[in-house]
Structures are given as C-alpha cells and as structure tokens.
Amino acid sequence: MTKSLVVVESPSKAKTVNKYLGKDYIVEATIGHIKNLPEKDFGVDIDNGYKPKFITIAGKEKVIKKIVELAKKSDKVFIATDPDREGEAIACDISDEIKKAVKDKLQIKRVLFEEITKTGIQRAMSNPKDIDMNLVDAQTARRVLDRILGYKVSPFLWKVFYYGLSAGRVQSVALKLICEREEEIRNFSPIEYWSIDAIFSKPSGSSKSFPSKLYKIDENIIKYNGEDPKIESLEQAHKILEDLKDNKFKVIDIQSKEVKKNPPAPFTTSVLQQAASTQLGFSPKKTMNLAQKLYEGVEIVKGEGNIGLITYMRTDSTRVSPEAINSVRKYILDNFGNEYLPKEPNVFNKKSKNIQEAHEAIRPTDINITPDKLKKIDKSLYQLYKLIWERFVASQMHNAILNQKTVLIKAISPKGLTKEYIFKTVGSEIKFSGFLKLYKDIKEEKAEEDEEEDTLLPDISVGEMLKALSITKNRHETKPPPRYTESSLIKQLDNLGIGRPSTYALIVSTVIDRKYVELKDRKLYASKLGMEVNKLLAEYFKDVINYEFTAHMEDELDTIANGDASYEKVVDDFYKPFIKDYQLAENKIKEIKSNLIVKTEIPCPECGEQTGAKMLKKWGRNGLFLTCERYPKCKATANIDEDVEKEEPQTEILCPECNSPMVLRVGRYGKFYGCINYPKCNGIRPYTLGIACPKCNQGEILPRMNKRKKLFYGCSRFPECDFITNYEPVSKQCDKCNNPYLEKRTNKDDTKYLYCPNCKSKFDLE
C-alpha cells in the first residue's frame, strides 16, 4: 500500500506527528535547514536582481537523499515545517529537491501545524495549501540583507580591530541601544533631594500604624524624583522637621474610588521571553528552547507518547481561536465560578500588521491539561508551561477591582505655623480579586521613588486627629536609567518594531557571544570593544544602522510577505544607502585604524632603553594589548585589562622581585597581582580566594582560565598539587561537617545554592 510522506523539521516533532497520523503516513525530519548561502563566498549576485546562490549544507546530502527516496515511493508529500517564513523557505527547498528527482507530477502540499495535537494535525491535513512564495521571498530577503551587511562590514571590522569580529543588520542596532544606555549611565549626574516621612496612628485604641509622606508645602506639591519643587538640602529638611516638632495632625480629606485592573493579554513571543526572564530567571534562548519542546511534544504519561502542550511559539498576535476561547471560559466557570467569568470574551488589540497575525497567541493546546498534571516532567518545562497556562486562563477572567483611598493629613501647630504642611497616604485593598486570583504580573523594573505606594489603611475619617509616631528626613539621589536586561532589551526592540518573534533570542545571544556585551547579574554591560565597535558603526554606517531604518526594513519585509512589494525592490532600498556608507568607510580605513592606535608613555621592555621606543595600545583577539611601536623589528607585547583604562589602586601585597606595592590586573588567563613598576619589573603573584587547598593544605585556591576562556579553580602550587574544580569555592564553613569551604552551584532552573563537596549537603545562597 502506498503511503503519504510528511516532512517536518525536528525528530521529536516527527515522533509526535507520527503518533497521531498512524500507519498510512511516513514522517521524516530535515533536522533544520537543508540549504544556506555559502560560507566562503558572498553568494549574492548584486548585478542580477540580488539573486542568491543557495547551496546544500554540508552533511545534509544524506537527509535530502532519504527524503527524495521516500517521496518516490509516496503518492503525496505534505511538507509540515514550522508555520512561519523560515519554515516556508525550508519547505520550498525540500519541494525543489523532490521535484528535481521525481519527474512525475507528484502532489506536493504545504500543511501548517499550529499545534501538535490530534485535532491540530487533522485540521492542518484536511486543509493543505501551496507553498507561499511571498513568504519564501520575504525570508530570502532577510537572509540576503543580513548577508550583504555581514559579508561587507565584518571584514571591515577585522581590518580595524582584529579577525573574527562580526556585524549584523539587527544585532548592531541592539548593540547601539546597549551602548547608548551605557553612555547615559556614565554621563549621569545625580541630583540630591530629601524626603520627609512619617508614621501615623490613631491616638489610642488601635495598634495599626501607617506610613505617609510630606506631599505639599503651602501650594507647592513636593516631587520625589529630583525635579522642582523638591526638598533640596539637609538644611531645608532640618527646618521642616523643626517646624513639625510638637505638632498635631488632622485628617482633612479622604477620597475613595474604585479602580479596575484589566487582565493581561495571552503571551506573544517577546512578552513570553520578558515574563520568563523576570519571573523564572530564564534567558530568552532557554525560554525558546523550552517552548519549542512544549510545542513539538512532551511525554506526560510514560508509554503514551509525546503530546504537544502549547501552540506555535513564534507569534506577534494576541488572537485566540473561538474553540480555545469557549474551552477556557468553560474551565473558568467550572473552577472559579460565574463571578470570575466576563459576560463576553476579553478581546485584545492587535499590535502588529505583519504576517505573524495569522498565528494565535501562545496558549495551552488543551486547557484541561493543568500544570498539576505535569509535575513529573522536567522542572523548567513545567515552570514555563505553568506560566503560559496561568497567563492564558487569566486573560479570559474578570477584571480585578480595587478600592483605592487617598488620605490628606494636615500639620496643626499650637504655636501657629508660617507654612502649611500636608502629608499624603494612598492605600488600596482588593474588593474583587478577578484574574489576580490566578496570575500576578511581576514588573521587572522597580517603581520610581515619586510613585505612590499602596498602603493598608486603618479605619479613619475626616476630622480625626492622628498621632505621629515618627517623622524623619531621608536623603535620596536621582538614579541613572537602568541597564538593559535581556528581557528589557527585547521589550525595547519590540517597541521599536525591530526584529521579529523568530529573531529576538538570537539577537540578544549574539551580542553576548561576540563579547560586545557582558551579562552580569542579569544586566547587559557594553564592553570596551562593544563601545568602540558601536562608535565606528554609528559614525560610518549611520544610514542603515539606526533604529528608524531598521524598523522600516522590517516593515518592508512584511510587504513582500503580504505580496505588496517585490523582493528586488526591497533589497535595493537597503543596498543603495548601505553601499554608499560602505565605500566611504573603506576609503578612510587607514585613518580609522590609526585613530584607534594609542601611543603610551610606557617604554618598550625589550628595546626601550636602547631606542627610546614606546608601547602602543592596540586591539587584538584577546582585547587591548601593548606592543612596541617598532614592530615588527621588535616584537615585545604585554597584556592589559580590556575593560579598565586606569590602573587599579595599589594593594598591600609586595612584589617578590623589588618589594614595591602590587596592583590587581587581568591577563589572558584571569586575575593576577603585578608589580606597580611594570614593565621595568615583571614581578607577579597569583590572585587567590584566600581558601586553603583541600588536597595539599599548603597552597590556596585561585581562579584560572584555560585557552578556551573557560573558568576553573585550582591550587596555587600547581603542578606540584593537581587539585581542580569547576565550581566557585566560597569561604564559608559547612554547618554539618565543618568542611572549611562550600561551592557555589546552579540548579537546572538556574537558581543558585551552596554545596558541601565533603558531606554533599545543600544550603540556600544568602
């Protein structure tokens, strides 16, 4: 019996699909793309309508051969690669390979699995389509635009800095955001201001107290963000406290209002990445890997095979199918009651006009598969599913209703005040929990200091006298804008219309992998290299590496997908301004490079005494380094810290060679103490953690870095002592076995804990 062939992208997806389709179908996986632009060739014919040259990816010949052989034996071929532009392009490549090999008129159709469930697969198989060449052209245009900029600008960066750097059309704009924020922070000048804070209570009969803040002096409403009018000095704050001494306080106004809090929309890709970062601590890359698994299928009952748990995870849309709406509304009614169910389904405004609106929002495929039923699956998968499930259910629940009360309290002095002082407290309580019964959205950035805090207020009324338990002054400074996190960077890219659901995670991971940006404590710091690269790109490629143009090109790609513009026109709109910038930059390459070489006053340690030669500061593969200005006649070099321009303060550690103070430096393989008289004196000492080596008890543990830049920890007496560990030792005694140190380790969900390597005990990380 002749079978039909179904082609998908991943083996795990193939396994789940095959379970539902049964014995009349053969399901085969491409394992991603089968074709790409060549690695060692430009691959785009600029003079022939920007025609791309796609070649078979090395190693995919066997995959293609197998798919073609199966197609020859099949009566129909259904290509079910992912339902987006990238999947459409892969489908087109597979179709072309089959058509070349199979001369007969074999029916090849495209099917879109929005969800990998029995219903979703049956729906897709009963509604096959032709491959959408508009989507293919849009994806081809994206790849060609990225190739044009990357292939030209990356070698330009090699000439200026060093071989191996890269530039990307969207990646460079993300770097621009991070670097501009870094500049804002560096140039920020804090403004001092003071707050007057009080704790009030009823004079008697109640132990409940509540905080309040000075709100108004005469007619001036005090601002607590550094703007005028403000309490700007210690002297002014002292004067206010003196005025308020021995005062009585009277409630002069209470305003109450009902506030409705709307439920959130179901997840789009960017919002899911933001929420998973804020609430679960997941990186965008990890989130998308987990979401891919939830979409393709997870085994929740042993022996019953995989089940697709969520709909397709790359989407800009908040749209939800009527069937899913009916299902979740029934669930809310059955499990929360009629008061939690709105009369009509909640509808959320579309934020985008692009092709991804064809998809639904990210939601559970079956609302009755509750998180409680999945506790035996991988913890990270469970956490992400729970987040998606709760957000989706909450999106169709009733508003939360809060009672908000604003209380104004006036200072009344027996001696008579020359100024009027009024305090304000804002309190709220939940009148009806609504969607908050299930889901509470956690904001990443803390509220500004001038925002009012919700306080639980006692039962008070207008005209009532209050007692001031305390009135204090507190100094504040305005804060610079916060550094981007992976989450907030994606949010900003999304707001600017830059990037698409399939690219957000890759954009963020790329700027980190290229060492343009460092991720520390979940914040993105521009490295010195990143700052220099951004400065260069901003100056010489300002026509194409800017927010407006990049967002415009995203819209242009959408017009190809929608059939409203041609591939050649859109690529041409990018190429013409780009090549003008590129040629100007190439003409100035010598000038650009010379401006990045800095002559220092450090004499060359090899030939300086004889020739007077100085060391030059240059960029190399390992960052900034020093090299003799007489190179290549003199090949003397020295390492310097890439990210520290000024030398660190001297320590109390003395040089073993000349007895001078030493400074902490960073070299190729990590931190070390170097003589302050370098390069005249080459004395060094290892940088240790102050923890005795547990193996020899003679040396100390120190951080090291291997040639691959991987951090590990070993004994300072190496090679005499070969102690080594991949975990960071912490100078803290184990409470259970008194081992002198613990190790910092990480759970699968990225949470950190302390571990005793001796008795295997675990402790919370304080």
Provide DSSP, 502-560: TTHHHHHHHHHHTTSEEEETTEEEE-HHHHHHHHHHHHHSTTTSSHHHHHHHHHHHHHH
Using DSSP's 3-state secondary structure scheme, residue 724 falls into: strand
Look up residue 697 and give its two tokens: 């008890």
User: Do residues 360 and 314 make contact, with C-beta atoms less than 8 angstroms apart?
Assistant: no
CA-closest candidate to residue 547, choices 271, 270, 184, 172: 172
Q: Are strands 421-432 and 400-412 parallel, antiparallel or unpaired?
A: antiparallel
Dihedral sign computed on CA atoms, order 205, 209, 214, 216:
negative
Q: Other CB atoms closer than 10 Å to residue 349's CB: what's the count?
A: 6
The region, left, alpha or beta by phi > 0 then psi within -120 to 50, assigned to residue 499 is: left
Amino acid at 561: A
**Rounded distance between C-alpha atoms, residue 104 and residue 107, angstroms:** 9
User: Do residues 269 and 388 make contact, with C-beta atoms less than 8 angstroms apart?
Assistant: no
**Rounded distance between C-alpha atoms, residue 696 and residue 299, angstroms:** 48
User: Do residues 220 and 422 make contact, with C-beta atoms less than 8 angstroms apart?
Assistant: no
Tell me what percent of the chain is helix, strand and coil, each rounded to the nearest 5: 35, 25, 40
Question: 458 burial class (0-12, 13-18, 19+ CB within 10 angstroms)?
Answer: middle
Q: Which residues pair with 141 in a beta bridge?
A: none
Length of the chain: 766
Give the max Cα distance, the chain: 104
312 is catalytic: yes
Which of 312, 484, 673, 678 is labelled catalytic?
Answer: 312
Look up residue 233 and give its two tokens: 């000095």
The 3 state secondary structure assigned to 444-472 is CCCCCCCCCCCCCCCCCCCCCEEEEEEEE
Q: Other CB atoms closer than 10 Å to residue 597's CB: what's the count?
A: 12
User: Do residues 530 and 517 make contact, with C-beta atoms less than 8 angstroms apart?
Assistant: yes
Query: 252 φ, ψ to 5°?
Result: -105, -15
Which residues make Cβ contacts (< 8 Å) with residue 33, sequence separation at least 6? 57, 60, 89, 90, 93
Alpha-helical segments (H) within 204-315? 234-244, 269-275, 284-296
Q: Among all residues, which ones are annotated catalytic?
A: 312
